[in-house]
Structures are given as structure tokens and as C-alpha cells.
Amino acid sequence: MTYYTDLPTVDAHVDRAKSYLQPDMTFRAKAHKKEALDLLNAAYDKLRVMNTSFSKTLSRYDRFDIPHCLYQIRDRHFRLFGVIFHHELERLVQLRSDFKNLEVVKVGA
């Protein structure tokens, strides 16, 4: 996984991921789609780090249940995150789903 040390917040990661979209809501290349999905995963990593203080209150068993990647998140995992992160988590999951469903349209093809 790529680390984006120049992006300090979850919103910065999301904005960079959205920058790979074309005005017609497609990706220009498969690499752009992959990079956008990687950025969403990096945003999730940032969210996991911010959730550390809440996760310390969980049982040891529950701490190991926190998914490592965004694609692994299901509704049952929301209890493993502080309430303040639920909206961000829902947004990241929805964006990932939307990005996965968008097409790659190569220019000149």
C-alpha cells in the first residue's frame, strides 16, 4: 500500500481521490481508478489511527476484529469505531462502492 504523508486529513485523501475523476464521472485509465481506491484505503487507515483511543476501550478480542482494509468493512464493524467516526466511515464505504462501479473510459478509444 502507498502511504500519502503529504495528506494530513481524511478529507484531503478523499479530495485527492476525487481529483482522478473526469467531469463525466469516469476514470481516464485503470491506474487512475486504482490510485483513487488506494487513496480511499489510506483515508481509512488515517481513520483507524484516529480511532485508537476508542479502540483501547474495547476487549482484546474486539480490537483484533477491526478490519485492516476499507473493503472489509461491514455494518457489524461500526461498533468497533467511536460514534464520532461513523459518518466518515459510512462516507468512505459509499465512495469506495461508487468508485468501484464507475467505468474506465480511455481517451481516444
CA distance 10 to 16: 10
For the chain, the farthest-separated pair of C-alpha atoms sits apart, in whole angstroms, at 55
Q: List, for residues 36-73, the tens digit of each pLDDT value.
A: 999 999 999 999 999 999 989 999 889 899 999 999 99
CA distance 26 to 95: 14
Question: Looking at the predicted structure, is the pLDDT value of residue 29 above 60?
Answer: yes
The SS3 of residue 104 is strand
CB 102 within 8 A of CB 26: yes
Looking at per-residue pLDDT, the higher value among 103 and 6 belongs to 103
Residue partners of 72: CB distance under 8 A and separation at least 6: none
How high is the pLDDT of residue 106? 82
> What is the reported pTM?
0.90
